[in-house]
Amino acid sequence: MALRLMTVVGARPQFIKAAAVSRAIAARDDIAEIMVHTGQHFDDNMSKVFFDELDIPAPAFSLDIHGGSHGDMTGRMLGALEAVMREERPDWVLVYGDTNTTLAGALDAAKLNIPVAHVEAGLRSFNRRMPEEINRVVADHLSTLLFCPTVQSIKNLEREGITSGVHHVGDVMYDATMFAAARARERSTVLDNLRLEPGGYALATIHRAENTDDPDQLRAVMGWLSDKAKERTVVFPVHPRTRDALARAGIVPQGVAMIDPVGYLDMARLLDGAAAVYTDSGGLQKEAYFHRKPCVTLRSETEWTELVECGWNRLWKGPDYGPRRDVTEYGDGDAAGRILDDIARHDVGTARPHL
């Protein structure tokens, strides 16, 4: 019988990664997928459009859980996901990244003695003030299989005593980017719609709590973007939470082209045509590299240190770019297949979380 793999997703970066793995599952007959969408990102521009554009199967369960504090949201997810897991009894639960959805999926599965597989395991910013850092650390320590995108992520796990079940598979975002870039060039009209010329603009995104929850920090970031807009157009798809924070603080960025969130194919096309990327998103830092675009991270640290070491990324208040070279450890765009091979080979009977 095919292994029953429950995929738990809820946020934009997870939809993108899950799309690559779901396509790989569809090509096999030894794994069956049960997709669960918690609803953490619920706006059509932040959720449904990704399922439509990236050929992700419609979720078997849509939990519609969003809003509220971290504790409130995670608590509601824990209750709803536990019920789904008890009903479906999957062989594995697959979680992605570092969101509240990741934390809730890993916690529920571990407490129900269902082995957890974590994609993007071992990433560390070493900033425990970030909710994402707490989420990723806990998920790693609850996981049986840990799929690492980089050599550094394996070293991070070793320092925390996690050495079994660790696999360097490359970066599943590379798989997704290769697929999306070709499709975006065929289908997206966003550059024409916004009257943008390739190479004539920069692309910006801001959504992290460390930037949006502190009005002074948000004002500083928007001031930095406004300064960059004096050099070239800055296109800024605005996350709903960021738009609300700007309104509450009375901040109006000068010279920045603020637009509604865009679908993944339009974002891929915007990346493809951008001269530079300014972001606080971990995922977009990598996507910028896959499109070979220089990136400035609007944070005090980054979990993707190899992008800084290889000259493709720098911190907004840090040194300038270093010498530029390719990042070979991200793999060849076959991470999804390697993840599924490792899950299929693993003896479920020996699966234990790293408690």
State the catalytic residues.
207
Q: Enter the tokens of residue 254.
A: 């000068």
Q: Which residues contact 155 (CB under 8 A, 6 or more apart)?
A: 122
Cα separation, 323 vs 100, in Å, equals 36
Q: DSSP H helical segments within the chain, as ranges? A: 12-26, 48-53, 70-88, 100-111, 131-142, 151-159, 172-187, 190-194, 209-212, 215-229, 240-249, 264-273, 282-290, 305-309, 335-345
Q: Enter the tokens of residue 341.
A: 């091979």
Q: Enter the tokens of residue 290.
A: 């896959």
Q: What 3 state SS string does 231-298 have?
A: CCEEEEECCHHHHHHHHHHCCCCCCEEEECCCCHHHHHHHHHHCCEEEECCHHHHHHHHHCCCCEEEC
